């Protein structure tokens, strides 16, 4: 168990540098420098970011706000065959008193310009900053990692002004790529100009961005099983099918391979070619009857779960996020409690360019560059 203690101990500079050098071999910033890039040894960006958020969630659970989250302070430990993440530099951190959720603007330095939250830059705000400042900074780090060193608020000399104005640009994330669509949704939440509308660290870790392919497949199955008896005029199907034509690209049968299409057409029970519910049923049925399917169908779908899930999400990149948002009103049901953060089902969302269900939303408070 990791325990946190705060104390002041003097360590001679050379001894301190030697200790750190033995413990840490690089930082996140070095991963994207041309001079001497750090080898991540196969650590995928999503795993790197997950480790970072686990660290932040641990700090926040102990009422500690880091206040200077940036690539330079995310250190990397090389274990010869793997890399682990360490959050460093607590010189600006603040431990909140019991029962307090915010800290005074007079309680020390403001963090690093270009990575800090807008409320830290705004002297006119009457509400003191909270742990949400770390979430905003982490959102910038997410984009930095996923794009190989880009910043959502632009060049260094423009960042502070753009952060104050709420002008960001996530265009390096592809609008029709499954992984980038899910990442964009999460980053937009984290970069919300209103700190109270940003997700908590715990909520970030629950987001589909961090779901394994196995969990994605289980979610599709659980949703299909839940809605199988729902009528088309019921609220759950109405939400799921809202903008569903964009999700299934008008006719999902035309997007799948001929061998799978032929197999589905010969099975019992007709499929609606323009329905999200129907597509989910097809995914569910093919998974359950995978080993009963002809060899050529198994080959086109690939192995379960990884290839199987990728087969569908590569053809329907909006399917996972669309379904996730549509089903959030059922987050308290036992089946879905593992997919959503309990008592925090109202996602803080901003305007997006990809499809979303026609459910209650809030107007965006962040501008695009």
Instruction: Using alpha carbons, select from 241, 232, 244, 219 the residue that is nearest to residue 333.
Output: 219
Which DSSP string corresponds to 32-83? G-SSSPPP-TT--HHHHHHHHHHHHHHHHHTTEE----SGGGEEEEE-SS-E
CA atoms within 13 A on the CB side of 115: 19
Q: 296-313 b/e with 16+ CB inside 10 Å = b?
A: ebbebbeebbeebbbbbb
Determine how many CB atoms are found less than 10 A away from the CB of residue 344.
14
Mean pLDDT comparison of 31-45, 65-79, 94-108, 352-366, highest-scoring range: 65-79
Sequence-distant (≥ 6) Cβ neighbours of residue 176 within 8 angstroms: 317
Burial of 275 (0-12, 13-18, 19+ CB in 10 A): buried
Topology given in CATH for the domain delimited by 213-358: de novo design (two linked rop proteins) (1.20.1440)
Instruction: Using alpha carbons, select from 289, 322, 321 the residue that is nearest to residue 308.
Output: 289
State how far the Cα of 157 lies from the Cα of 113, in Å rounded to an integer: 10
Catalytic residue among 39, 68, 185, 225: 68
pLDDT digits over 206-217, tens only? Answer: 999 999 999 999
Residue 369 bridge partners (DSSP)? none
More confident residue, 130 or 78: 130
Which band of pLDDT confidence, cut at 50, 70 and 90, is reported for residue 348? very low
Token pair, residue 195, equals 């700190």
More confident residue, 122 or 248: 248
Which helix or strand (DSSP H or E) is residue 184 part of?
A: helix 178-190
More confident residue, 60 or 19: 60
The answer to whether residues 347 and 132 touch, using CB atoms and an 8 Å cutoff, is no
**In this predicted structure, what is the pLDDT of residue 11?**
44
- Residue 68 falls in the annotated catalytic set: yes
Q: Which CATH number fits domain 17-210: 3.40.50.2000, 3.40.50.150, 1.10.510.10, 1.10.287.130?
A: 1.10.510.10
Task: Report domain extents, the chain.
Answer: 17-210, 213-358
Give the three-state DSSP class for 17: helix
The answer to whether residues 279 and 252 touch, using CB atoms and an 8 Å cutoff, is yes
pLDDT digits over 8-43, tens only? Answer: 444 454 444 444 444 555 656 556 665 555 555 567
Which band of pLDDT confidence, cut at 50, 70 and 90, is reported for residue 368? low
**In this predicted structure, what is the pLDDT of residue 291?**
95
């Amino acid at each position: 168990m990791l325990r946190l203690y705060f104390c002041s101990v003097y360590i001679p500079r050379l001894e301190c540098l030697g200790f750190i050098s033995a413990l840490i071999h690089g930082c996140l910033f070095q991963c994207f420098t041309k001079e001497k890039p750090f080898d991540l040894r196969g650590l995928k960006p999503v795993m790197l970011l997950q480790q970072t958020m686990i660290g932040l969630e641990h700090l926040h659970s102990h009422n500690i706000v880091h206040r200077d989250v940036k690539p330079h302070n995310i250190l990397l430990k090389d274990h010869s065959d793997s890399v682990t993440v360490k959050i460093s530099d607590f010189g600006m951190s603040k431990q909140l008193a019991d029962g307090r959720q915010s800290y005074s603007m007079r309680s020390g330095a403001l963090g690093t310009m270009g990575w800090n939250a807008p409320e830290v830059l705004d002297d006119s705000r009457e509400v003191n900053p909270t742990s949400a400042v770390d979430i905003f900074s982490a959102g910038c780090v997410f984009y930095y990692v996923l794009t190989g060193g880009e910043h959502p608020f632009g060049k260094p000399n423009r960042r502070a002004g753009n952060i104050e104005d709420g002008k960001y640009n996530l265009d390096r994330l592809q609008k029709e790529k499954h992984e980038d669509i899910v990442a964009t949704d999460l980053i937009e939440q984290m970069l919300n100009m209103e700190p109270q509308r940003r997700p908590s660290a715990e909520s970030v870790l629950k987001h589909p961005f961090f779901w394994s392919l196995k969990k994605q497949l289980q979610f599709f199955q659980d949703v299909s099983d839940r809605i199988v008896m729902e009528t088309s005029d019921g609220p759950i199907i109405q939400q799921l099918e809202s903008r569903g034509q964009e999700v299934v690209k008008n006719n999902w049968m035309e997007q799948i391979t001929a061998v799978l299409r032929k197999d589905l057409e010969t099975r019992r029970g007709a499929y609606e070619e323009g329905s999200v519910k129907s597509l989910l049923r097809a995914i569910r049925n093919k998974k359950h009857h995978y080993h009963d399917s002809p060899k050529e169908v198994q080959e086109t779908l690939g192995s379960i779960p990884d290839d199987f899930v990728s087969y569908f999400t590569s053809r329907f990149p909006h399917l996972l996020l669309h379904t996730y948002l549509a089903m959030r009103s059922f987050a308290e049901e036992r089946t879905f409690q593992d997919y959503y953060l309990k008592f925090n089902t109202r996602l803080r969302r901003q305007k997006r360019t990809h499809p979303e269900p026609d459910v209650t939303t809030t107007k965006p408070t962040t501008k695009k560059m």
